[in-house]
Amino acid sequence: MPRPQKHVFICTQNRPQGHPRGSCAANGSAEVINEFINQIQNRNLFDKIALTNTGCLGPCTLGPSVLVYPEGVLYARISKDDVTTIIDQHLLGGEVVEQLQASSEIW
Ligand code: FES
For the chain, the domain total comes to 1
Residue 52 sits in which domain range?
6-100
Mutate-to-test residue for ligand 1 from 14, 57, 61, highest number of ligand atoms within 8 A of CB? 57
Q: What is the CATH classification number for the domain harbouring 16?
A: 3.40.30.10
Q: What is the CA angle 63-68-73, rounded to 5?
A: 75
Give the tens place of pLDDT for each residue, 64-95. Answer: 999 999 999 999 999 999 999 999 999 999 99
Residue 58 Cα, ligand 1 centroid: separation in angstroms? 5
Asked, for residue 93, whether it belongs to a domain, the answer is yes
Asked, for residue 10, whether it belongs to a domain, the answer is yes
**pTM of the prediction?**
0.95
Confidence (pLDDT) at 2: 82
Residue 55 Cα, ligand 1 centroid: separation in angstroms? 7
The percentage of the chain sitting over the pLDDT mark of 90, rounded to a whole number, equals 97
Asked, for residue 31, whether it belongs to a domain, the answer is yes
Asked, for residue 105, whether it belongs to a domain, the answer is no
**Hey, is 52 helix, strand or coil?**
strand
Asked, for residue 29, whether it belongs to a domain, the answer is yes
From the number of C-beta atoms within 10 Å of its C-beta (0-12, 13-18, 19+), residue 42 rates as: exposed
